[in-house]
Amino acid sequence: MKLFQQLLVASSAISLISPIAAQASDTINLDGMSSYGRSESKAKRFDNTSFVNEVNEKIATIDGRIDGLEARQNNFEAGSFSETTTMDGKAVFTIGGVDYDLSSETASEAIQAMYTYTMNLNTSFSGDDNLYVRIKTGNHSDWSKTKTYGTYLSSANANSDTLKVDKIWYEFPVGEQNTVWIGPKIENYYMHGTTPSIYKPVTKQFTLGGNGEAYGASTDTGFGWAYKADNGFAVSSNIGTKSNTSVSGSNTGLLTDETKTSWATQVGYTKPNYSVSALVNVKTNGWSDTYYHTSGHGGSCKTGKVCENFTSVGLRGWWRPENAGTATPAISVGYDTTAYENATDATSNSDAYFVGLNWNDIFQPDDKIGVAFGQPTKNEDNDTDPFAYEVYYSFKPNDSIEITPAIFGGSDRNGGAGQDFTAAIVETTFKF
């Protein structure tokens, strides 16, 4: 029995005893108790039958009160979350700083403390579909949300302490092996049929096997489709479009000639211990979303031409050992090559590569060691060899808290000689 029901029963029992006691005092004459046996008075007597009847009446009253209270409780629950809605979330505390070798660098080198707070809501209407909403806030600023040198953190959010709808879309099955997505706030990679990478990154540049020209994504209107066969084969195609982007004071609209658009098509094959995939992404009208690039990577335009369109091919693969806790890591690799329309011959192509390694359960259950490195997207005419890296160790004091100290940095990171830096952070993640 629930607590409030117990309290109600106790209250009603007290109210039951009170009238019985009052009735007894009215019926029984304490002063003349000795003469009760000789009295022939016809006054109402308190006997076993009247007591049982009184108790039954009170029990019926209690049951009625409980039924009414439960009905009010059900009405309250009907106005709360649907039974098919679930919520989970996390809060991430970050403290750290960056040391730049460049004397011209304007970003702060002070130690900073920041946070991000996220809530995920999932609602199903048929049991197979899902309405997803992500609400997010944070106070990241400066280097932790800057793409220039790859210091943008995977956990970063710069909503200035304001809760906002960060993602929202609806997905549903078509048949047994097809899935369709549509939403006003979604990114391409949520709609791929094959997971491109299993490396868990600290910096956003290392997501998706290198968050460069091929897999780089941006949140806006999108829709897509994916087919997944039982044997591990998958094919998907999706479109992200800046339908609300303002150009010359007016919105460009959905899939118009002026709208920034990313159309990605992926083919992949996945088994429990490995996966390979290839993706072609056609980006038009100045779509820009990469976190893994150097300055000027897009090439130089030919005279009188506009360089706003390009096509990128992304190759991805990953493999993991059958058992965790071994010296052999899970390996994720990626390679991008991009052709820019109307660029000069010397700058018409760029490429990038990525390698990510994860060791799981090495020192204690659920811990993780991560090492990633690679070359950010670099144009062919760039003589420097930009390099980026990160190293971290994460462990869990309990099932809901994860602590991750990490260092990351780069040499010639933005494509220029001497553009080096080193950063160190500690992140604490609270999951609920």
Residue-wise pLDDT tens digits, 339-375: 999 988 888 999 999 999 999 999 999 999 999 999 9
Neighbours of 239 (CB within 10 A): 18
Q: What whole-number distance in Å separates Cα of residue 206 and Cα of residue 356?
A: 8
Kind and range of the H or E run holding 4: helix 3-27
> pLDDT at position 297, please?
83
| CA proximity to 265, closest of 203, 376, 189, 176 | 189
Q: What whole-number distance in Å separates Cα of residue 251 and Cα of residue 95?
A: 39
| DSSP strand pairing (85-100 vs 112-123) | antiparallel
Output the pTM of the full model: 0.80
Residue-wise pLDDT tens digits, 169-217: 999 999 999 999 999 999 999 999 999 999 999 999 999 999 999 998 7
> pLDDT at position 29, please?
45
Cα dihedral sign, 220-206-359-401: negative
Kind and range of the H or E run holding 172: strand 164-174
> pLDDT at position 310, please?
94
Residue numbers in the chain where pLDDT is lower than 50: 1-44, 46, 76, 78-79
Q: What whole-number distance in Å separates Cα of residue 29 and Cα of residue 41?
A: 12
> pLDDT at position 51, please?
53
Structure tokens at 217: 């994504």
> pLDDT at position 427, please?
98
Structure tokens at 162: 């304001």
Kind and range of the H or E run holding 68: helix 48-78
> pLDDT at position 292, please?
95
Residues in contact with 421: Cβ distance below 8 Å, sequence separation at least 6, in sequence order? 98, 99, 100, 101, 102, 105, 149, 151, 409, 410, 413
| DSSP strand pairing (401-411 vs 387-398) | antiparallel
| CA proximity to 350, closest of 304, 295, 416 | 295
> pLDDT at position 19, please?
44
Amino acid at 262: S
Cα(first)–Cα(last) distance of the chain, in Å?
A: 28
Name the CATH topology of 86-116+139-164+188-431. Porin (2.40.160)
